[in-house]
């Protein structure tokens, strides 16, 4: 499994993504739809309409990685968002929970101090 540093942001694309997209297609989605730099080293997560497949796109300094997963049964519980948000920012812990099949909307975060980066508004961050 990859190890992401604390400076690595995780962006989730709300809505459905065509899972036939390859490196160039997902690169274009990140750049045009999410408004991010695909070569930034941040992680970008996409799912299909049935939420039983997902793809993760990340640039490691020498090239793009695409990691994909297809569930044999069930589906990933994608966080809900309003229609105006074009991306959702996840924490590293939230990514682990999502990949582990945990519904983020039914979990609660304990109150403790966490500095929010200026690039991340509260509007982009889901509240678990």
Is pLDDT of 121 > 60? no
* pLDDT of amino acid 122: 54
The bridge status of strand 64-70 relative to strand 43-47 is unpaired
Whole-prediction pTM = 0.80
Lowest mean pLDDT among 30-34, 84-88, 93-97: 84-88
The tokens describing 81, both together, are 């968002």
């Amino acid at each position: 499994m990859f190890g992401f540093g604390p400076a690595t942001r995780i962006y989730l694309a709300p809505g459905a993504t065509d899972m036939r997209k390859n490196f160039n297609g997902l690169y274009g989605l990140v750049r045009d739809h999410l408004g991010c730099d695909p070569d930034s080293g941040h992680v970008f997560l996409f799912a299909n309409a049935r939420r039983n497949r997902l793809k993760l796109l990340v640039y490691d300094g020498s090239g793009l990685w695409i990691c994909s997963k297809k569930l044999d049964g069930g589906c990933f519980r994608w966080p809900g968002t309003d229609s105006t948000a074009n991306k959702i920012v996840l924490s590293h812990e939230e990514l682990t929970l999502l990949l582990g099949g945990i519904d983020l909307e039914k979990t609660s975060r304990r109150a403790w101090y966490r500095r929010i980066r200026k690039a991340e508004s509260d509007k982009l961050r889901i509240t678990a």
